[in-house]
Structure 1
């Protein structure tokens, strides 16, 4: 189990690196006036043919279709939660804060995973919330609070809330949808099949969102936004999601190891900060921000090193 956990944690760190491109590109598109609806929906519309070809080439499409036919309502529901609700709220928040702040607030998903564990545990080793995991998560929450405090002088309460509350919703939606789908398929599908299944299940949500955007007279996205969402689809949607799903699948029967893998996503804030400094501004963050980031990373490391 230790070997599996270490490998899963490493995969989680690599996925965090590629996931950070989501926050950077979403912020870039928002700053350039791109619609958050197109930023969200285009990523998953790009991902659908990519993963269809992967699963088809691996000759695993038939097995996936059988799983979809067995529980169509659950696939629709939890795919909409895990992909649709998660990413639409995340891209909406990108218009109201820097990428590193969104990435930092997103780390609430670690605490969300712990809180959801007792409700979702089915045949796992730990039914309750590990006390040490809760303490480490408290460090992460404290770090997030300090980062938010650093932005309080620059943003109104309304703007801070608009950029924070949707991320909190996303932080609970992603582990909820991911874990419910893991329970549903119970290891019968690999990561690529499960992602494609969730893409298909969330497709009605994305079509509805695009129709709302079209009805509002916003028109088509720019070519620049289309290319940037394609980059996000490949880096975050293909590479990062496959790495993360593979990592969580390896330790799906061990709640402590699963919490450690989810904790690796805290490193996204560091990667996003570096990208923010390179692309947007040479201004280095203040002391509160750096201290907050330090606490987030410390909490992540403690999670990962815990037995």
Structure 2
């Protein structure tokens, strides 16, 4: 029963550093009693007999009592040793049951996880993962709100927000997802009518679709000849989300400046074309932010542990398409 605990908790047969490893010591004592000798216990534990003997001696020295009577050819538990064995057996059995209960509870986890994300990230990255998440955790409800406006996690009672861009100083915990690189794109139909910009300055002659956020300036950060420029832009659309900008860009209304994950499928399908390819664009970090501390709800922990590595892989895949 204790084999894996024995190996993971006290595998120092090669003279490893001593640590506070009382659970491992208990497991060794239990093995010695159940097998009847130090050498037999050592074989089960993948230790040497001398390591087992030294461990028992060290434990007895710390406790100030003898656990085994070594005066005969067979090991005999002392009265204190018998008590230690019984308590150790119950303790490890309780630990095994506790770990098994945690595993069962993970599959029975329930409750609601309130999630906030931008429209593009939520639609293209989060939503495709939800059906798979629910096959594993069918009793967890995901309350998903998509908006390109920044939400206040405290006021909106949000459990986790996926944010693209710089993070403000706060008491929130952040788990980094990856990096999104913005690029300038247009529909082939728009380029046929208005031509393809060759330099950042050419954007003055084009209809640039943008946003109406208070935090947004009418500039696109681009690279021009090795230097960074805040290129002034103008156009006849100001939208409150990237999906509206993307759809109107596909319809040929103008140029757009969107994240790689947002337009990767459209570029692959030929609906959009990347322009100003040599103009290095700005990159933004993508993070999952949430309230930290010692009491992260199990439902939120399960959600993050499922989503974060898959979202990391998705961003890496999109980035690789444009390298």
Give TM-score, length-normalised by structure 2.
Answer: 0.22
TM-score (normalised: structure 1): 0.23
More helix by share: 1
Bigger relative CO (Cα 8 Å, ≥ 6 apart): 1
